[in-house]
Chains A and B, each alone.
Chain A
Amino acid sequence: MSFLDMDERILEIAARVEVVYSPLVDLKEFPADVDVTIVEGGVSSEEDLHKIRMVRSRTKLLIALGDCAVTSNVPGMRNTFKVDDVMKRAYFENADLKQQVPSDVIPKLLPRTRPVHEVVPVDVFLPGCPPPADVIFGALVSLLDGTTPDLSGTRFGR
Chain B
Amino acid sequence: MSGRPSAKPAAGAPSSKVKTLTIDDRLVSAREDESILDAARQNGIQIPTLCNLDGLTPVGACRLCMVEVKGSSRLFASCVTMVGEGMEVVTDSERLQKYRKTIVELLFSERNHVCAVCVSNGHCELQNLAQTLGVTHLTVPYLHPKLPVDASHERFVNDHNRCVLCQRCVRVCGEVEGAHTWDLRGRGIDTRVITDLNQPWGSSETCTGCGKCVHVCPTGALTEKGKSIREMAKQSRFLPYLTMMREDRSE
Q: How many angstroms between the C-alpha atoms of A152 and B130 in the bound complex?
A: 10
B116 cross-chain contacts in A, Cβ below 8 A: 67, 73-74, 129, 157
User: Which stretch of B8-16, B17-25, B133-141 is in the interface?
Assistant: B133-141
Q: Which A residues lie within 8 Å of B112 (CB)?
A: 77, 80
Q: Are A73 and B127 in contact (CB under 8 A)?
A: no
Complex Cα distance, B144 from A115, in Å, reads: 12
Chain B residue at minimal CB-CB distance from A129:
B116
Chain B residue numbers with a CB within 8 Å of A127 are 136-137
Q: Is the CB of A74 within 8 A of B134?
A: no
CB of A55 within 8 Å of the partner chain? no
Binds B, one of A31-39, A43-51, A100-108, A117-125: A117-125
Q: Does residue A143 face the partner (Cβ distance < 8 Å to B)?
A: no
Q: What CA separation (Å) do A157 and B114 show in the bound complex?
A: 8
| B121, closest chain A residue (CB) | A157
Chain A CB within 10 Å, residue with most, of B130, B137, B141: B137
CB-CB contacts of A143-158 with B at 8 A, as 1s and 0s? 0000000011011111
Q: Which residue of A lies closest to B117 (CB)?
A: A74
CA distance A157 to B137 in the complex (A): 12
At the interface, yes or no: A64 with Cβ under 8 Å from chain B? Answer: yes
B118–A157 CB distance below 8 A:
yes
Whether A125 and B136, one on each chain, are in contact in the complex, defined by CB atoms closer than 8 angstroms, is yes
Which of chain B's residues 187-239 have a Cβ closer than 8 Å to chain A? 230
Interface residue B145 (Cβ < 8 Å from any Cβ of A): yes
Roughly how many angstroms separate A2 CA and B175 CA in the complex, as a whole number?
Answer: 46
Q: Which of B136, B142, B146, B147 has the most CB of A within 10 A?
A: B136
- Tell whether B5 is near chain A: CB-to-CB under 8 Å: no
Q: Are B115 and A151 in contact (CB under 8 A)?
A: no
| Cα distance, A80 to B145, chains bound together (Å) | 6
A41–B30 Cα distance when bound, in Å, is 51
User: Assuming the A-B contacts A74-B114, A127-B137, are A154 and B144 also in contact, with contact meaning beta carbons closer than 8 angstroms in the complex?
Assistant: no
Q: Does A79 contact B (CB under 8 A)?
A: yes
Question: B55 at interface (Cβ–Cβ under 8 A)?
Answer: no
A79-B134 in contact given A129-B116, A157-B121, A158-B127 (Cβ < 8 Å): no
Please give me the residue from chain A that is nearest to B144 by CB atom.
A79
Within 8 Å CB of A156, what residues of B?
108, 113, 115, 127, 130
Does B48 count as interface, using CB distance less than 8 angstroms?
no
Q: Which residues of A contact B136 (CB under 8 A)?
A: 70, 125-127, 151, 154
Which residues in B have their C-beta under 8 angstroms from that of A114?
142
Q: Which residues of B contact A81 (CB under 8 A)?
A: 146
> What are 20 A-B pairs with beta-carbon distances under 8 A?
A64-B137, A67-B116, A70-B136, A71-B108, A73-B114, A73-B116, A76-B114, A76-B144, A79-B144, A80-B144, A81-B146, A112-B144, A126-B136, A129-B116, A151-B134, A151-B136, A152-B134, A155-B128, A155-B131, A156-B113
Given contacts A74-B117, A77-B117, A157-B118, 9 further A-B contacts (CB under 8 A): A64-B137, A71-B138, A80-B112, A80-B147, A115-B137, A117-B137, A155-B128, A156-B115, A157-B121
Write the residues of chain B forming the contact surface with A, with a CB cutoff of 8 angstroms.
108, 112-118, 121-122, 124, 127-128, 130-131, 134, 136-138, 141-142, 144-147, 230
